Every structure is written in structure tokens, then in C-alpha cells.
Structure 1
Amino acid sequence: MQRPATVTELAKVLKFLGNEQRLHILRSIAHEEKFAREISEEVGISRPLVNIYLKQFEKAGLVKGTNRVGEEPPYLKRYYGALPFELPVSLGLIEKLGDE
């Protein structure tokens, strides 16, 4: 995840991470890769919604997905793991950000 350069970018990141369900997903895959069904069952969110969030996380650079072939159906599974990031937010940072 790149550091936000503008107030608008910071607001988008904070809004994205300000969703409780998304934070539960990140916590679920913080130390162990899992596939969507496992995440869905663990956090109590529908699999289609988990898949949507995981794609958004990948696009934002917060999660990495890896396809793996197994011996049992479904043979191809996509495992997801959280990528380390840090987002320090302070008044000083907000003062330094551009307007876009």
C-alpha cells in the first residue's frame, strides 16, 4: 500500500479500512493464508461479499492472492494473505498532504 499523497487519497483509505467486516477479514488472514470459504465461515460474512472485499484489498495492495492446485474439489483454490502495512495518521501528516 502506498502512502496517501493527498487528503482525498487518505480519506479513501480511511473509509475503506473503517469497515468492520473488512477489518475482520484482514485480522483473519493476518498470520495465515486462507481461501474465501474459510474466511467466510470464520468471520460470518457471505462468500460473495468476502470475494468482493478480497478483490478490493488486492487492488489496494493490502492482500496478496495465490492460486494453488489441490487434490480434492475444488481443485483450484485462491489463497489470500494480508501484506504488512502501516498507516500512521496525525495532524502533521494531514497538514502536509496535497489537495489533489
Structure 2
Amino acid sequence: MLDPVTLPELAQILGFLGNEQRLNILRAIIQNEKFAREISEEVGISRPLVNIYLKQLEKAGLVTGTNRVAEEPPYLRRYYRAMPFELVVNLDVLTKTGDV
């Protein structure tokens, strides 16, 4: 579960997840893991941008990546899968988050 402790952390998480392209990437890898080119073709975003977003999502713990050897080029591919998470935002969360 994403658990922001401060208002800036909450704002950062909401801003990060508020990006439609990132959400489309997450949606593309919920059921089946895919590598960047497959995701790029499915969501209509350039491969370099997909790679940037995947690294950000992986760093945030929302995506996990696994390297695999393929039978055709590119021989080394990194497959990504969305990780389960829950984010609850309500007035209680706003009350609990401090400015620390």
C-alpha cells in the first residue's frame, strides 16, 4: 500500500499517478508482463518515454521488472508487471499527514 506520511508525499504520489500515460502503462501490464516495445506499441507512446516511465514506476514500487533472454533480437529483454497496490485518500488521510 502506498502510505504517504506528509502532505508533500501525498501530493507527489497523486501527481505521479495523475499522469494518464503512466496509468496506461500500468493498465497494459496488469494481466500479463510485457517488455518495453510491446508496451510502447500498445499504449502509443515512444519507447524511450515508456522506458523512463517504467524506471520511475519500478523505483516507486508499482512495477517489477525481470530480465530474460529471448530467442530473437533483442536477446536480453526486461519484462515488466504491475505490482498490487492500494491508495486511499480521504479526509482522515489529509488530517493525519503533517507538513514534516
| Short-chain TM bin | over 0.9
Query: 1:38: which partner in 2?
Result: 38
How far apart are 1:73 and its partner, in Å? 1.0
Unpaired segments ≥5 residues, structure 1:
none
Across the two proteins, how many residue pairs are aligned to each other?
100
* Structure 2: runs of 5 or more not aligned: none
Aligned to 2:53: 53
What RMSD, in angstroms, separates the aligned Cα atoms of the two structures?
0.9
Measure, in 1, the Cα distance between the counterparts of 2:97 and 2:23.
25
Q: Where in structure 2 are the equivalents of 1:1-100 lying within 5 Å?
A: 2-100=2-100
- The TM-score, its normalising length taken from structure 1, stands at 0.97
User: Which amino acid counterpart does residue 27 of structure 1 have in structure 2?
Assistant: R
Q: Deviations over 1:36-80 (max 9, x none)?
A: 000000000000000000000011010001000011111100000
Q: Aligned partners of 1:66, 1:5: CA distance in 2, in Å?
A: 30
SS in 2 for 1:22: helix
Q: Secondary structure at the match of 1:25?
A: helix
**Counterpart amino acid of residue 57 in structure 1:** L
Q: Which residue identity is paired with 2:31?
A: H
What percentage of aligned pairs have identical amino acids? 73
In the aligned structure 1, how far is the partner of 2:94 from the partner of 2:32? 33
Q: Does structure 1 retain, via aligned residues, the 8 Å contact 2:2–2:87?
A: no
User: In the TM superposition, what is the alpha-carbon distance from 1:83 to its structure 2 partner?
Assistant: 0.3
Alpha-carbon distance in 2 for matches of 1:94, 1:2: 14
Question: How far apart, CA to CA, are the structure 1 residues paired with 2:40 and 2:50?
Answer: 6
Q: Secondary structure at the match of 1:49?
A: helix
* Counterparts of 1:72 and 1:42, CA distance in 2: 20
Q: Give the Å deviation of 1:98.
A: 1.6
